[in-house]
Amino acid sequence: MSFDLKDLEAIRSINEFGSINSAAEKIYLSKSALSERIKKLEARLGFEILIREGYKVKLTRQAKFLLAHSDQVLCAHSELVSKAKLIKDNVEAFFKIGVSIIFPTAVSMKLFKALTQEFPDTEFNFFREVLSGEEMLKKKVIDISISETIKDDANLDFKKVSSCDMVLLISSEHKFLSCLKKIRT
CATH of the domain at 31: 1.10.10.10
Final residue of a structural domain among 88, 105, 134: 88
Q: pLDDT tens per residue, the chain (185 residues)?
A: 677 888 989 999 999 999 999 999 999 999 999 999 999 999 999 999 999 888 789 999 999 999 888 878 888 888 777 777 766 776 667 788 888 777 777 777 887 888 888 878 788 888 877 666 777 777 888 887 877 666 666 777 766 666 666 666 777 777 776 776 676 65
Buried b / exposed e across 65-95, counting CB within 10 Å, b at 16+?
Answer: ebbeebeeeeeeeeeeeeeeeeeeeeeeeeb
- Tell whether 106 and 51 lie within a shared domain: no
User: Residue 104, CB half-sphere, CA atoms under 13 Å: how many?
Assistant: 10
**Total of domains in the chain:** 2
Which of 53, 68, 76 has its CA nearest to residue 11?
Answer: 68
List, in sequence order, the alpha helices (H) in 103-159: 105-118, 133-138
- Tell whether 151 and 181 lie within a shared domain: yes
- Tell whether 79 and 130 lie within a shared domain: no
pLDDT, residue 162, reads 65
- Tell whether 118 and 132 lie within a shared domain: yes
Final residue of a structural domain among 88, 122, 152: 88
- Tell whether 179 and 96 lie within a shared domain: yes
Task: Tell me if residue 86 falls in helix, strand or coil.
Answer: helix
Residue 138 structural domain: 92-185
Final residue of a structural domain among 57, 88, 119: 88
- Tell whether 69 and 96 lie within a shared domain: no
- Tell whether 59 and 146 lie within a shared domain: no
CATH of the domain at 123: 3.40.190
**Type and span of the H or E element at 126:** strand 123-129
pLDDT, residue 10, reads 92
- Tell whether 71 and 123 lie within a shared domain: no
pLDDT, residue 168, reads 66
Q: Could you give phi then psi for residue 146, rounded to 5 degrees?
A: -110, 105
